[in-house]
């Protein structure tokens, strides 16, 4: 991809320790695998590395931060306070929000104002009608 569209237009997403269905990452040396992946991706000159950050993945995230020279974007259950903390500490360059945007179309304004967020309804994700897309207050 970097050869085809240039590395400045490429990002890569990883989900360390983020179980999906029955998948569980628990092998020895896993954090080092993510560190090496980050170093290889950094060598390609891609623009950003996007990672899920949860309590189990913090060590892997820190190793990726050390080994990736581009922008590190984190995601995963963030609120304004946690986002500011990870940005201020240098753990992340960017924070992305997914689910909160579904139920809060004005999320940036709400975060800036410190307004309460409307919880997302996972049962309405990927529905075939307006439920969960256009019916949030």
For the stretch 112-129, pLDDT in tens is 999 999 888 888 887 777
What residues does each domain of the chain span? 2-96
| Confidence (pTM) | 0.87
Dihedral sign (CA 25, 87, 46, 69): negative
Query: How far, in Å, CA of 93 to CA of 73, rounded?
Result: 6
Average pLDDT, the chain: 90
Q: Any residues with CB less than 8 A from the CB of 76 and at least 6 apart, and which?
A: 18, 52, 53, 54
For the stretch 42-70, pLDDT in tens is 999 999 999 999 998 999 999 999 999 99
Continuous segment of H or E residues that includes residue 5: helix 2-5
């Amino acid at each position: 991809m970097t050869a085809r569209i240039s590395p400045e237009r490429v990002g890569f997403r990883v989900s360390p320790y983020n179980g999906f269905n029955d998948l569980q990452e628990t092998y020895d040396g896993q954090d080092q695998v993510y560190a090496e992946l980050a170093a290889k991706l950094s060598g390609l000159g891609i623009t950003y590395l996007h990672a899920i950050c949860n309590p189990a993945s913090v060590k892997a995230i820190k190793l990726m931060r050390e080994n990736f020279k581009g922008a590190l974007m984190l995601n995963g259950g963030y609120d304004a306070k946690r986002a500011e903390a990870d940005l201020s500490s240098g753990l992340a360059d960017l924070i992305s929000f997914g689910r909160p945007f579904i139920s809060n179309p004005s999320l940036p304004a709400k975060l800036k104002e410190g307004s309460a967020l409307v919880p997302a309804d996972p049962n309405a994700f990927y529905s075939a009608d307006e439920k969960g897309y256009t019916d949030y207050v």
